[in-house]
Chain A
Amino acid sequence: MIEFVLRRLLAALPVLLLVSLISASIMELVPGDPAALIAGQGATNIEIANIREQLGLNRSFVARLGGWYHDLARGDLGNSILLNRPVTQAIAERLPVTLALAGFALLLTVAVGLPCGVVAAVYANTWIDQAVLTFALIGVSVPNFWLGLMMIVLFGVMLDWLPAGGYVPFSDDPLGWVRCLILPGISLALLQVGLLARITRATMLEVLQQDYVRTARAKGLPFISVVGKHALKNVMVPVITVIGISFGLLLSGSVVIETVYSIPGMGRLLANAVFGRDYPLIQGGLLLTAAVLVLLNVAVDVLYAVVDPRVKYDRR
């Protein structure tokens, strides 16, 4: 197992290298630079060149990338151009916010998606099943940013039940923190709920077909206890899967949701970095995101083995 984990982590290195290469190349192709943004529309070419020089942007692409790798090797992600602080600090400030949001969304996902999936499987091919399936499909079909806008108007403004946007740190006001997270959490969780409900249903269906479940039922055990005892244990696999793929989806989703709800998280940090051409921040942010994603994938695989003894990795 340890060998497997180590091998996976080692295999991640070229992927991370590729990630940084791809992001740097794409951003190099994107027209516009932070100097033009800082200088504003009235600036002359000379003024912009002057700012470029001060920001160190007049060096060639290769030189800049080389410098970045050189610093990276020493554990330095450089400084954000537009935020006037080290990239690591900018990320450290934002990551907890997105993790809180993602965690909350995940909690909602499991709390709603799992029971829905189980119920749908137990009552497969009845109207309950169809209702759950349709609900799950609506979840993956509704544009979450649009739903966010609608919920802001309804709950944030017209009914005034919840804050219309913004973020309060837990340490400042725990209740306010929860209230801030409810609407964006729902918007973000919707897609995941749909996914989890469907995967859970499929897994449960398979499990319920298994001989031992049939036997248990044939022995006259109550249906509920059969489901609870034998089947539920198996649905841990889809839950872990969804948690695993969620992080990427959540980060992607949070780009938009954090913009709609004015939440200062990672997604918005990175989106603004792209729009502001804050090269060091984009590079550092994407590298860290990718690293977290890779680590999470490894963790998910390890979890599979813990939950399901049949999964073995050492053969590969």
Chain B
Amino acid sequence: MTGAEAAAVAGEEAPGALDKPVSLWRRLRRHRLCMTGAVIFGCVLLLALFADLLQVLPPEKMQVRLRFKTPDFPYPLGTDNYGRDIWSRLVHGARLSLSIGFAVALVTGITGTLIGVAAGYFKRLDSPLMRSMDALMAFPAILLAIAIAAALGPSASNAVIALSVVYTPRTARIVRSTVLVVREMDYVQAARACGGVDLWIIWRHVLPNCMAPLLVQLTFIFAYAILAEAVLSFLGVGPPPPAPTWGSMIAEGKDYLREAPHICLIPGMAVALVCLGINLLGDGLRDVLDPRLRVQIG
């Protein structure tokens, strides 16, 4: 048993299928923290969707005479060292950060499931696949992402690839551990004994059982990816300018911490807030989807 699997035992992940959407929704609504998260996330999502309407100026527009303005009319969050409106950059940055986070979660979900199911279901593939995943996980995550991003060149899609490579092994492990359990269940064994086609069995019986832990894991990866993208941009290997990513906004503000702290402060708070929202949402999802944690103590 490895650390991560122990974490599973300790209640981080457990196999389980999705319940009916209606009762799920009802239970989620009763979860106060989850709803808080949903509201935060929803607000940021709206900002991202309507960035074009909400912007005061185009996010790249530089005004050399209006540098370092503190928050005030008409620039609600002030301007940065290029004289660009921080509010406009923030809402466009929300679009970029959420897209990258979502794309990483999606790609990771697909590749992680493919690898995890293959490794868990087909005994012969288990060792080579999981040893490769172990090797990827033996790298310090950020360093691996930096190297991949540097190898592929700077762009938003390459950042997604780099981060997906980093997070796929973690997802694959969780899917695999679920599959290992499901595989031994009577009805799956029965289906196999009856000569069922493997792919059909996986589709019909195995995959649905992996959905709950996968979904929970992916919300957390969503949040991690937003954080990690900020780190990559901070280190200068994220999407290239003039893309207003939150990480590059923090990086640009770090040289003016004493003189114009708002440049750095605001995007950092935005990252923290949106990650908090997603994590709250993920926590709620897990509480609701994971029966073992639905405990009530006086």
Contact = CB atoms under 8 A, between A and B. Distances in A.
Given A153-B261, A301-B2, A267 B140 contact: yes
A256 B234 contact: yes
A26 B151 contact: yes
A86 interface: no
A300 B137 CA distance: 16
Contacts of B254: 149
B139 A286 contact: yes
Interface in B264-292: 264-265, 268, 271-273, 275-276, 279-280, 283, 292
A206 interface: yes
Interface string B238-262: 0000000000001000100110010
B276 A141 contact: yes
B10 A241 contact: yes
Contact of B135 (A15, A241, A270, A311): A15
Contact of B258 (A146, A157, A209): A157
Contacts of A147: 268
B131 A18 contact: yes
Contacts of A216: none
Nearest to A200: B10
Contacts of A289: 138-140
Contacts of B265: 150
A146 B150 CA distance: 22
A203 B142 contact: no
Interface stretch (B59-67, B73-81, B116-124, B223-231): B223-231
A205 interface: yes
A125 interface: yes
Dominant SS at the A interface?
helix
A304 interface: yes
A286 B152 CA distance: 20
Nearest to A153: B257
Interface residues of A, number: 69
Given A145-B234, A149-B254, A208-B297, A248 B276 contact: no
A274 B3 contact: no
Nearest to B227: A143
A238 B264 CA distance: 35
Nearest to B3: A244
A190 to B, nearest CB: 11
Nearest to B231: A256
A313 B6 CA distance: 13
B148 interface: yes
B50 to A, nearest CB: 24
A42 interface: no
A304 B151 contact: no
A253 B231 CA distance: 10
A294 interface: yes
Interface in A101-132: 121, 124-125, 130
Given A18-B135, A133-B33, A209 B143 contact: no
Interface in A20-35: 22-23, 26-27, 29-31
Interface of A: 11, 14-16, 18-19, 22-23, 26-27, 29-31, 121, 124-125, 130, 133-134, 137-138, 140-143, 145-147, 149-150, 152-153, 157, 199, 202-203, 205-206, 208-209, 237-238, 240-241, 244-245, 248-249, 251-253, 255-256, 259, 267, 270-271, 274, 286, 289-290, 293-294, 297, 300-301, 304, 311, 313
Given A18-B131, A143-B227, 9 more contacts: A125-B297, A150-B264, A202-B10, A208-B297, A244-B6, A256-B234, A271-B143, A290-B138, A293-B138
Query: Which 9 pairs from chain A and chain B are nearest by CB?
Result: A18-B135, A290-B138, A141-B275, A244-B3, A146-B268, A202-B11, A29-B151, A141-B276, A252-B140
Interface of B: 1-4, 6-7, 9-12, 32-33, 131-132, 134-144, 146-148, 150-152, 223, 227, 230-231, 234-235, 250, 254, 257-258, 261, 264-265, 268, 271-273, 275-276, 279-280, 283, 292-293, 295-297
